[in-house]
Amino acid sequence: MLDVLAVLLTLGGLVFFAGATMGILRFPDFYTRLHAAGKLDTLGALLTMAGLAVYNLHPFSITTLLTSLKIGFAVGFIFIASPTATHAIVDAGVRAGLRPWVKQEDEQK
């Protein structure tokens, strides 16, 4: 049962990583690309590492429990650090004068 949960969490994380990749490749400007990277990469890492922590618990012992808790601490750090880093990069873009993308139709009005 733990193996199934681990596979589902890991595959869910990979789906979010794939969505972030598509967003980075397809979105038109710096800000929307960073939005995709910041949101989806954080959730993808959370799900993937949670799957690895669950998979690690299969031969249950105190050692595997401690290793899974360490993975949980790494997930918590990523959950805090990734959005903070994305915000700092966006702030640097604003200070550098990068303007958001605007549709051509909206510029003519």
- Give the mean pLDDT per block of 10 residues along the chain (109 residues): 94 96 93 91 95 91 93 94 93 92 70
Q: Is residue 69 included in any domain, yes or no?
A: yes
Contact 52, 14 (CB under 8 A): no
Q: How many domains does the chain have?
A: 1
pTM for this predicted structure: 0.82
Residue 81: inside a domain: yes
* Domain presence at residue 49: yes
Q: How many CB atoms lie within 10 A of CB 51?
A: 21
pLDDT of residue 108: 59
Indicate whether 34 belongs to any domain.
yes
**Does 109 map to a domain?**
no
Asked if residue 56 is part of any domain, the answer here is: yes
Residue 108 lies in a domain: no
Indicate the burial class of 20 (C-beta count within 10 angstroms; 0-12, 13-18, 19 or more): buried
Distance of alpha carbon 16 from alpha carbon 18, whole angstroms:
5
Whether 28 is in a domain gets the answer yes
**pLDDT value at residue 107:** 57
Q: What pLDDT is stored for residue 109 in this prediction?
A: 56
Structural domain boundaries enclosing 60: 2-101
